[in-house]
Every structure is written in structure tokens, then in C-alpha cells.
Amino acid sequence: VGFALFLVTQVWVLTLAMVFIACGAALLMPAYTTAATAQYSDAPGAVAGYISMSHTIGYGLASLLAFSATLSPHYPIYLCVLFALL
């Protein structure tokens, strides 16, 4: 629902879309952390640490690459396709 709301052009709907996406991410994080910890029960701290590290790197990289939208609106799309292929 959140991603679909990003397609609407009104600014107030963008805020609602971000709320939906943030809630979805907040619900997903504990779910897959629990699933990963259950698979590697001998080192649950390491699993949680790797997941936290990957989130921090992902959010940091996303914020660093956000400037590309100011250069051209197409650059973020190209970057998303590039990272998806990687």
C-alpha cells in the first residue's frame, strides 16, 4: 500500500506513504531477525549484529546517494536498477 501511494502526486499522500513504509519496515525487522536467530541459535548476537550493520550501511549509502536526484531525476532509477542487478 505504501509503495502504491508513492505514485499519487499530492504531497500529503507522500507523507501517508512514508508512514506506511516506515510501519512496514518496523514490523519486518523483528520478524526476520527472529527467523535468522532461530536458524543460527549458537550465535544470536552475531546474527543480530550483522543485520544491524547491514541496515546501517544501507541507510547510510541511501542517504549519500540521495543527492543524485538533484543532478537528474533519472539517476536514482538507474542506481536502483544497478544495485538490483548486483
The model's pLDDT over 6-21, given as tens digits with 9 standing for 90+, comes to 888 888 888 898 899 8
CB neighbour list of residue 6: distance below 8 Å, 6 or more residues apart: 14, 17
* Per-residue pLDDT, 65: 85
pLDDT at 75 over 80: yes
Cα–Cα distance measured from residue 47 to residue 73, given in angstroms and rounded to the nearest whole number: 37
For the segment 48-70, the average pLDDT, to the nearest whole number, is 84
* Per-residue pLDDT, 85: 94
Q: Which helix (H) or strand (E) holds 27?
A: helix 11-39
* Per-residue pLDDT, 27: 81
